[in-house]
Amino acid sequence: MSLLRWGIIGCGDVAEKKGGPALYQAEGSELIAVMRRDLTKAEDFAQRHGAKRAYDTTEALLADPEIDAVYIATPPHLHCQQTLQAAAAGKHVLVEKPMALSVAEGEQMIAACKAHSVSLHVAYYRRYWPKFQAIRVALEAGELGTVLGARLQLCTLAPASGWRVDPAISGGGHVVDVGSHRLDMLCFLLGDITEVHGFAANRLAHHSAENDTVFSLRFASGVLASACFHFHTRPSRDILEIFGSDGTLTCDPFDGAAFTINGEERRFETPTPTHLPFVQALVRGEPGHVTGEEGLKVTRLLEAVMRNKI
């Protein structure tokens, strides 16, 4: 395995705790440099995470000849432009979810990376957790018989302020931030979606983004599913259920260490850092990774419901 040398654009919380450590803990992967607009904070991040250099502009980091790939961990409104810059500089791209503010931006990112012969991946890292890998194996082995339906539910009390509920920065509300992971998991486990309908609203009007979102989904396999997200409710509930002709599979909670299938609990260790198996698979070049085209599927679902574009 050849060494993949990384730069990080954006040294906030997700790079600090999740994606950043995975870049230097994965075998065959090395963190070279980081970028944050505040150079002092960038230098502090670099020192704590073992990076060689720190920059305060995207352009300076992309000019670093030692970097092969960049991890874009900035808010979504910056993803498209920074991906275009990275592609033009000949750097492979791993971008945080959601990949873009819109389908049009996502398509532009994919086209740019293809034009410059660099790869584009989207950080839907839960696909590589042992728990969800095992669920996929169980479904493919027919442990539920014919899969007929699924239900996602996330109800919680989420912050009503900050950039995550500013659509100009995040592309929407909390459904874009945390709901996108759960919608991606439906795609990973159940395949391509051929039809989506839904509603988005904010009945309590705590901010300008949607706070309550409901999806009805039809899959190419014939599976029918529903997903609902409500971000001003108590108590919290975060569950995935998959129904088959021979049984039911339940993740309750979604991010818990276990799932139950036909009454049998199966437990798995949650990776630390969360992105490590995902990054390891990317570095190894394993087939079936989360490409730009795959990551754009969730953006299409979100746009269809939130912007009435079916």
As its CATH architecture, domain 4-125 has: 3-Layer(aba) Sandwich (3.40)
Residue 54 has φ and ψ, to the nearest 5°, of -135, 145
Instruction: Dump pLDDT digits (tens) for 93-104.
Output: 999 999 999 999
| Res 306: pLDDT | 87
Angstrom distance (rounded) from CA 155 to CA 138: 27
Q: What is the pTM of this model?
A: 0.96
Instruction: Dump pLDDT digits (tens) for 62-85.
Output: 999 999 999 999 999 999 999 999
Tell me what the mean pLDDT of segment 225-238 comes to: 96
Instruction: List the structure tokens of 241.
Output: 């259920």
Instruction: Dump pLDDT digits (tens) for 177-217.
Output: 999 999 999 999 999 999 999 999 999 988 999 999 999 99
Q: Are 257 and 271 within 8 A, CB to CB?
A: no
Side chain identity at residue 149, one-letter code: G
Angstrom distance (rounded) from CA 73 to CA 279: 14
If you write DSSP's letter for every residue of 61-113 in order, what string do you get?
A: HHT-TT--EEEE-S-GGGHHHHHHHHHHTT-EEEEPSS--SSHHHHHHHHHHH
Task: Say if strands 120-122 and 147-157 run parallel, antiparallel, or are unpaired.
Answer: unpaired
Q: Residue for token digits 């654009």?
A: 9
Cα dist from 2 to 144, 198, 283, 285, 286, whole Å: 41, 45, 9, 11, 14
Q: What CATH number labels 130-270?
A: 3.30.360.10
pLDDT band at 308 (very low <50, low <70, confident <90, very high): low
Query: Same fold for the domain at 4-125 and the one at 130-270?
Result: no
Domain ranges of the chain: 4-125, 130-270
Q: Could you give the percent of the chain with pLDDT greater than 90?
A: 96
Is pLDDT at 239 greater than 60 in this prediction? yes
- The overall average pLDDT reported for the chain is 96
